[in-house]
Amino acid sequence: MELVLFNLANGLIVGAFYVLMALGLSLIINLSNVVNFAHGNFLAIGGYLAFTLTPYIGFWGALLVSPLLTAVFGYFIEQVLIRHVYARNHIYSLLLTFGLGFILQDVCRFIWGPSPLPLGIPDILSLPITEELFFITWYRVFMVAVVIVAVSGLFAFLRFTRVGMRIRAGTLDLDTVSALGVNVAALRSYNFAVGSFLAGLAGVLAAGQIGLNPNMGDDLIMPSFIAIIVGGVGSLTGTLLGGLLIGVAAALTTVFYPAGAEAVIYVIMAIVLLIRPRGLLGEEGMLT
Amino acid sequence: MSQLIGTGHTRRRGLLQATAAIGGLQLASPFIIKARGETPVKIGFIDPITGSLSALAVTEVESAKWTVEQMNKNGGILGRPVELLIEDSANDTGTGVQKAHKLIERDNVDMILGDVNSGIAYAIMGVTAEKRVFHIVPGGHTDPITGKDCKWNTFRTCNTTAMDAAAMTKTLVSKFGKKWFFVTPDYAYGQTLQANFVRNLEALGGTWQGDMLPIANSDFSATLIKAKGYKPDVLLNLMGGSAQINCMKQFIQFGLNKQMALGGALYEIESVRSVPKEAQSGWFAMEWYWNQPSVPAVKKFVDAISPVLGGKMPTARHWMAYVSLHAARLAAEKAKSLDAVKMAHALEDLELPPEVSLMPGKVRYRAGDHQLMSDIYVGEMHPPGPGGADDLFTIGQTVTGEDAAGPAEATGCKIAWPA
């Protein structure tokens, strides 16, 4: 029983990380209708930028600056590439972002090399919080705290800022938002930048936990998609729930059948799609 | 405009279609290194340049490029220049098999080398045997490749998992005890490696527990919680590549290094370089090591290749690609032909010269199973020593390949030659 409780707590921590990844992805899908397969590579860019910046501005500085730089990079990519496929069929954005992912992966490999790299974190964060709870390091606690702050900030941004409210409205009915004089092109650009910011933030946090390698985004992108599908496309709250659910499910499966830890999240997705195809909290076009 | 935006329904469908379709798009363009010459000898080299084993694969490819360059400066193979065609298997079996077909059927390669991933190497064997193409596996360890499923055309340079387990078991038992916990990747390599360790351990009266995890697993906390509860004498980290690195980091972060010893089969230099100093520890097998003062050819090799590696020392993966390519050259030269059957016969029991084997003992691909009988170095990992940043391993004992492998007949290999 103790083992199950330990893993339940651990699953919530892992799930919180999936949430951060998936929320950025979800934002972009919801407003721009682009399935961004390069999202994991934006995560890697964020992590590698932190690796480069850390010797100059330290871990804490890199934690603030790297996501911002990733957001700027995302904004640039949206301006140069992504916006040209909004008016086209899904397959165009799929192929574009899929190819972009390969390019970004090779860029990382070219600049930083193929070998895994460690991102140094402050020593205090490396320690377990207690001897009993040895599997919860301060870094994991810190990750969860950052996720809580980021998610709260995102929801506040969407609810209380002018741009945020326009993004929510655009998700529901972009035609009307456009007819009211809102610059939809700019709105999508800002939205893509916010999504990239969250990917960059997730990248720095992931790098501190599992280190860096050019493929790191590939391993994390699928749980993000699944979190969105399980939670319900169009619902950020659903994405939140979906991320936590698959994190816990994977951790608990490890207790009883470790080889199935990866497969179980796909099984959950299949069950949700069979029983409730719109996802747990999915409402058509709703950003809640 | 609403058509452009799509409803929630179309978004869901699009997302699902995209997620499903992406699996079919895993084939990237080939990366081809061409040498100059009229009728080159074409060598196809398949490795997972992307994916969780990429650091190991990139090292092999790096060495293969350098070796071919040196080979071409010295007359190539049979007086013809060598052309290296490199393909990325992306750590995916289907992709690896497809790349093998492409290299053989479209590029008409004379021989194939690959793959780091045991499962992919095993699958490629089926293609090369069917197409009657000479094949060397530089770095895929699972036993059936030179065991029960061995083929007349396939040779292997790295050790079998049985050899590594045999070399390590007694050391780990005598140093730490007989209660073990395994952290193992759930694919061909991990399954056979753990099975061999378990067989050896149980023969000595030991007990064990363990988890088999996905090959690219990144979070080991659940498994390490179990390990702590089991209170083993030693934790065997059998994962590979970035997964092994993450497991090592979390093992240290959770303070488990104060409660149990660390060991396993392979802990490759590429991985050791990437972990904190505290995790640069434990007892492992090294299939080749750059610091062998008793073997003059090793120093010559290290001095030649090190500048190309930016001053770093070559690793066992560099050695695997180097030996495999030179073995192919020696086989062709002995057979005076690129015919796969003639080359395979020629390479059997051919003793590799010291400048190729880079080892103290007599090294050959034995006829019974086509497995390279190379020395295995059992020793201890440590943070960088006085020899520099790559002085990470101290050899404790050298086990000969013959001793670790046992007789060829015991592997279950029965080589059937084509009519």
The gap from C-alpha B63 to its chain's centroid, in whole angstroms, comes to 13
Domain membership of residue A207 (yes or no) is yes
Model pLDDT, residue B131 = 95
Mutating which of B10, B19, B215 best tests the A interface, going by the most A Cβ atoms within 10 A?
A: B19
Sign of CA dihedral A119, A122, A123, A125: negative
Scan residues 283-342 of B and list those with Cβ closer than 8 Å to A.
none
Mutating which of A135, A175, A221, A272 best tests the B interface, going by the most B Cβ atoms within 10 A?
A: A135
The answer to whether the Cβ–Cβ distance between A219 and B216 falls below 8 Å is yes
Angle at A129 between CA B282 and CA A206, to 5 degrees: 70
Q: Which residue of B has its CA nearest to A232?
A: B12
* Torsion on CA atoms B210, B276, A38, A186, rounded to nearest 10: 130
**How many CA within 13 A on the CB side of residue B192?**
21
What is the spatial distance between Cα B324 and Cα A282, in angstroms, rounded to a whole number? 55
What is the spatial distance between Cα B44 and Cα B409, in angstroms, rounded to a whole number? 31
φ and ψ of A197, to 5 deg? -60, -45
* Torsion on CA atoms A182, A183, A185, A188, rounded to nearest 10: -50
Number of domains, chain A: 1
Average pLDDT over residues B341-353: 97
Q: What is the pLDDT of residues B251-304, one digit of tens each?
A: 988 889 999 999 999 999 988 988 888 889 999 999 999 999 889 999 999 999
Cβ-contact B134, B100 below 8 angstroms:
no
Model pLDDT, residue B20 = 52
**DSSP SS3 for B348:** strand
CB-CB neighbors (< 8 A) of A137 in chain B: 253-254
CB-CB neighbors (< 8 A) of B8 in chain A: 233-234, 278, 282-286
Domain membership of residue A283 (yes or no) is no
Residue B58's identity, in one-letter code, is: V
Domain membership of residue A286 (yes or no) is no
Domain B26-159+292-374, CATH among 3.30.1330.10, 3.40.50.2300, 3.30.70.1450, 3.40.50.720: 3.40.50.2300
**DSSP SS3 for B416:** coil
Would you state the structure tokens that stand for residue A241, as one six-digit string? Answer: 């729930």
CB-CB neighbors (< 8 A) of B246 in chain A: 210-211
Mutating which of A21, A35, A92, A100 best tests the B interface, going by the most B Cβ atoms within 10 A?
A: A35
Given a cut of 60, is residue B213 above it in pLDDT?
Answer: yes
What is the spatial distance between Cα A100 and Cα B78, in angstroms, rounded to a whole number? 43
Q: What is the pLDDT of residues B357-371, one digit of tens each?
A: 999 989 999 999 999
**DSSP SS3 for B360:** coil
Would you state the structure tokens that stand for residue B240, as one six-digit string? Answer: 């590979």
Given a cut of 70, is residue B13 above it in pLDDT?
Answer: no
Q: Determine the distance in angstroms separating the CA of A155 from the nearest CA of chain B, rounded to an integer.
A: 20
B26-159+292-374 and B162-286: same fold? yes
Domain membership of residue A138 (yes or no) is yes
Sheet holding B179-185, edge to edge: B207-213, B179-185, B234-237, B261-266, B283-286, B376-381, B393-399
Model pLDDT, residue B115 = 95
Cβ-contact B208, B201 below 8 angstroms:
yes
CB-CB neighbors (< 8 A) of A86 in chain B: 4
CB-CB neighbors (< 8 A) of B229 in chain A: 3
Q: What is the pLDDT of residues B56-106, one digit of tens each?
A: 999 999 999 999 999 999 999 999 999 999 999 988 999 999 999 999 999
Query: Of B356 and B188, which is predicted with more confidence?
Result: B356
Q: What is the pLDDT of residues B35-56, one digit of tens each?
A: 444 689 999 999 999 877 888 9
Q: Determine the distance in angstroms separating the CA of A226 from the nearest CA of chain B, rounded to an integer.
A: 9
Average pLDDT over residues B154-171: 95
| CATH number given to B162-286 | 3.40.50.2300
Model pLDDT, residue B343 = 98
Answer whether the bond into residue B115 is a cis peptide, omega within 30°.
Answer: yes
How far is CA B375 from each of CA B56, B165, B189, B323, B398, rounded to the nearest angstrom?
20, 14, 20, 13, 7
DSSP state of B219: -
Sign of CA dihedral B347, B348, B351, B352: positive
The answer to whether the Cβ–Cβ distance between A174 and B2 falls below 8 Å is yes
The answer to whether the Cβ–Cβ distance between A225 and B212 falls below 8 Å is no
Tell me the pLDDT band of B27, cut-offs 50, 70 and 90: very low
Scan residues 47-106 of B and list those with Cβ closer than 8 Å to A.
49-52, 54-55, 58
The CATH code of the domain that includes A104 is 1.10.3470
Q: Which residues pair with B235 in a beta bridge?
A: B181, B262
Q: Which of B322, B341, B315 is nearest to B393 (CA)?
A: B315
Q: Which residue of A has its CA nearest to B14?
A: A90
What residue ranges in B147-239 does DSSP mark as E strands?
154-156, 179-185, 207-213, 234-237
Tell me the pLDDT band of B30, cut-offs 50, 70 and 90: very low
Model pLDDT, residue B16 = 56
How far is CA B331 from each of CA B71, B129, B153, B337, rounded to the nearest angstrom?
14, 17, 12, 9
Model pLDDT, residue B9 = 47
Cβ-contact A115, B61 below 8 angstroms:
no
The answer to whether the Cβ–Cβ distance between B255 and A251 falls below 8 Å is no
Model pLDDT, residue B50 = 83
The residue ranges of chain A whose pLDDT is under 50 are 285-288
Model pLDDT, residue A283 = 67
Model pLDDT, residue B10 = 46
Model pLDDT, residue B366 = 96
CB-CB neighbors (< 8 A) of A180 in chain B: none
By residue range, what is the domain housing residue A147?
2-275
Tell me the pLDDT band of B5, cut-offs 50, 70 and 90: very low
The structural domains of chain B, with segments of one domain joined by +, span 26-159+292-374, 162-286
Give chain B's end-to-end CA distance (angstroms, integer): 68
Q: Which residue of B has its CA nearest to A254?
A: B222
Q: How many other C-beta atoms can be found within 10 angstroms of the C-beta atom of residue A118?
A: 18
Cβ-contact B363, B349 below 8 angstroms:
no
For chain B, percent of residues with pLDDT exceeding 90:
76
